[in-house]
Chains A and B, each alone.
Chain A
Amino acid sequence: AQKVTQAQTEISVVEKEDVTLDCVYETRDTTYYLFWYKQPPSGELVFLIRRNSFDEQNEISGRYSWNFQKSTSSFNFTITASQVVDSAVYFCALSEALLDSSYKLIFGSGTRLLVRP
């Protein structure tokens, strides 16, 4: 069965520290996609990144970077020089294909990140 595990329930860091959020997934599909979303206190899920199973290149976007390792079924997310505004719940998600070529998202339980000034 498709599954996403985010073992870290809550992480607390001091501003400017680097922090890595772990994500491990299970899938029977050979082609799949992985996502990270951010959920601030307002509740809206904000899309951060999408990565397909054929592309294991790491990606960097400003202070954010993602490390995809197919061999360990992991898709970890690192925030460099964290800021208070990064405080939120972060979700990792895995695509599961639907019949008509669309897909639904299978989410992990999320990691709450608290960045203290």
Chain B
Amino acid sequence: DTGVSQNPRHKITKRGQNVTFRCDPISEHNRLYWYRQTLGQGPEFLTYFQNEAQLEKSRLLSDRFSAERPKGSFSTLEIQRTEQGDSAMYLCASSLGRGPTLSPETQYFGPGTRLLVL
């Protein structure tokens, strides 16, 4: 069994370019999350998918950001017209949700994609 994987691990781009990151969750995990982590800070929530449905988006997710999970398996996060402020580590997490419950399942994180916008 493999954990959450993310590609690429590192990305350097010039301001104004578009970038796309991929996340492959743990097999059969129906819930998928994206977080962003800037230097010296903890991760911040960006968005959440239950299967293929995007159910929650943070105010941090500007119009330039779009995320998809077309078949309820892998997910992509695209940033259009990148800005230097987008430089950060983008983390993906997945979990196995069992429906309404008082006991939330654990989120397991991938290694992240480190983005540097020049």
Residue ID in chain B nearest A91 by CB atoms: B42
Interface residues on A, range: 20 to 34
Residues of B within 8 A of A (CB): 31, 33, 35, 40-45, 48, 50, 55-56, 89, 91, 93, 95, 97, 99-104, 106-112, 114
One of A67-75, A80-88, A107-115 contacting the partner: A107-115
5 inter-chain pairs at a CB distance below 8 angstroms, sorted by A residue, are A4-B42, A44-B109, A45-B91, A47-B107, A102-B31
Query: Knowing A44-B112, A102-B31 touch, does A107 contact B43 (C-beta < 8 A)?
Result: yes
Q: Once the chains bind, are B99 and A101 in contact (CB under 8 Å)?
A: yes
Q: Once the chains bind, are B89 and A43 in contact (CB under 8 Å)?
A: yes
- Flag whether A28 is at the interface (Cβ < 8 A): no
Partner of B101, one of A91, A101, A105, A110: A101
Residue ID in chain A nearest B89 by CB atoms: A43
Q: Once the chains bind, are A102 and B104 in contact (CB under 8 Å)?
A: yes
Q: Once the chains bind, are A45 and B48 in contact (CB under 8 Å)?
A: no
The smallest C-beta distance from A92 to any residue of chain B, in angstroms, reads: 9
Q: Once the chains bind, are A102 and B42 in contact (CB under 8 Å)?
A: no
